[in-house]
Amino acid sequence: MIGERVAIVEDMPGVTRDRIYSKAEWLNREFNVIDTGGIELGEEPLLVQMRAQAELAIKEADVIIFIVNGREGVTSADQEVANLLFRSDKPVVLGVNKIDNPDMHEQLYEFYSLGMDTPYPISGSHGLGLGDLLDKVIEHFPEEVSDPYGDDTIRIALIGRPNVGKSSLVNAMLGEERVIVSDIPGTTRDAIDTAFSQDEQEYVLIDTAGMRKRGKVYEATEKYSVLRSLKAIERSNVVLVVINAEEGLIEQDKKIAGYAHEAGRAVIIVVNKWDAVKKDDKTLQNFTQKLRDELLYLTYAPILFVSAKTKQRLHTVLPMVQKVSENHHLRVPTNVLNDMVMDAVAMNPTPTDKGRRLKINYVTQVAVEPPTFVFFVNEPELMHFSYERFLENRLRDTFEFEGTPIKIIARKKNS
């Protein structure tokens, strides 16, 4: 469905995560796919936790694809899962997996006993039948909601674990000096968009406070809160990755921040509850260095140390949001861009491989949000990642790109 084999460990410095979420697209509709890993029935602690995780994913989903094993036939476990899905009152599409050839289609009839609509024969390993399955899936998608805000409005998503103080930060940012326009229900369940203005700039806070844990089920299934973060990130321009200063950076923070980076959004790291940390003259420097070491892929993101409780440095947040938003939209004139690249190549000549040297003919910026640059070259495969990083650093040194990722694409000259 997503068109690639998803690895358990991400090949990116500073982030390791189990990839249970991925993006997919069908008939021009983009959507997130959650792999629940399987619902095992039993009372062992691990099985109870797995079932709880799957139930939470079901609650978050708009459509459920129920996968059964076509070679095994209907099992008692399938019946139990079907009953669970009936209680969810969500649209369910039944996919009968491991049907690798047309001769096996007669095995489908048995699965009508589950009480679902038409069972769709598929083969996950061979990609067979997925088109018909996805046609049915997108029939159940909710209507796309039009954007109620203007193009000049900066949409700010606050993401982070449930206990980092996002709600307090929202409340503190919406002080008396702000003009609150309205509370508009967001496209995400349990999220409220708060529109307000300051200094003639319109903002919308997309609060994911609904990610907070509710009882033991949520305590055991914190990674599913990522789904709400993903939805908020998709609708935002600027993402505030909120970290609890008392606890420091943990693995869940890295996972959530990684999604903001991959989505190409402008990012600010906000360390909240800084008032509660015992400090000496090196505390700030050491904390900053640890964040940089652990979040190597977010070296471009500014770090703000604030306190929602005391409002310490809170006045720095919105000016930084506006700055990184401008950088996220920055366009560099083509002639200036090519002059910079010529200087960069003169300083550090392009790499060679087996007697062939990379030649950069021309550079142009093709997009913003994030700024995206196409380098027309003689042989794209000669663009080594280390030289690409050098070019990105030169772009950052020359132009104001704080807070925004940069994309570099190498294309053959005649493409």
How does the average pLDDT of the chain come out, rounded? 83
Contacts of 305 (CB under 8 A, 6+ apart): 245, 271, 274, 284, 287, 312, 313
Residue 350 forms beta bridges with which residues?
Answer: none
pLDDT band at 77 (very low <50, low <70, confident <90, very high): confident
List domains and CATH numbers for the chain.
Answer: 21-139 (3.40.50.300), 154-328 (3.40.50.300), 334-412 (3.30.300.20)
At residue 99, the pLDDT reads 87
Q: Are 207 and 167 in contact (CB under 8 A)?
A: yes
pLDDT band at 161 (very low <50, low <70, confident <90, very high): confident
Nearest to 382 by CA among 356, 349, 362: 356
Q: Is 162 annotated as a binding residue?
A: yes
Q: Is 97 annotated as a binding residue?
A: yes
Q: Is 286 annotated as a binding residue?
A: no
The structure tokens 């008032």 sit at 275
At residue 50, the pLDDT reads 67
Q: Is 278 annotated as a binding residue?
A: no
Residue 34, class by beta-carbon neighbours within 10 Å (0-12 exposed, 13-18 middle, 19+ buried)? buried
Q: Is 39 annotated as a binding residue?
A: yes
- Cβ atoms within 10 Å of 314's Cβ, excluding its own: 19
Q: Does position 185 have pLDDT exceeding 80, yes or no?
A: no
Predicted structure pTM score: 0.74
Q: Is 98 annotated as a binding residue?
A: yes
Q: Is 275 annotated as a binding residue?
A: yes
> Strand 303-305 and strand 29-34: pairing?
unpaired
Which amino acid is located at 76 in the chain?
S
Q: Is 38 annotated as a binding residue?
A: yes
pLDDT band at 154 (very low <50, low <70, confident <90, very high): very high
Task: Give the residue-averaged pLDDT of 197-224.
Answer: 61
What whole-number distance in Å separates Cα of residue 281 and Cα of residue 287?
Answer: 12
What whole-number distance in Å separates Cα of residue 204 and Cα of residue 394?
Answer: 33
Q: Is 273 annotated as a binding residue?
A: yes
What whole-number distance in Å separates Cα of residue 75 and Cα of residue 85?
Answer: 15
**Structure token digits, residue 59:** 């609650």
- Whether residue 319 is preceded by a cis peptide bond, meaning omega within 30 degrees of 0, is no
Q: Is 28 annotated as a binding residue?
A: no
Return the higher-pLDDT residue of 415 and 231.
231
Q: Is 167 annotated as a binding residue?
A: yes
DSSP-derived secondary structure for 154-185: EEEEEE--TTS-HHHHHHHHS-TTSEEEEEEE
Alpha carbon 124 to its chain's center = 24
Q: Is 355 annotated as a binding residue?
A: no
Q: Is 148 annotated as a binding residue?
A: no
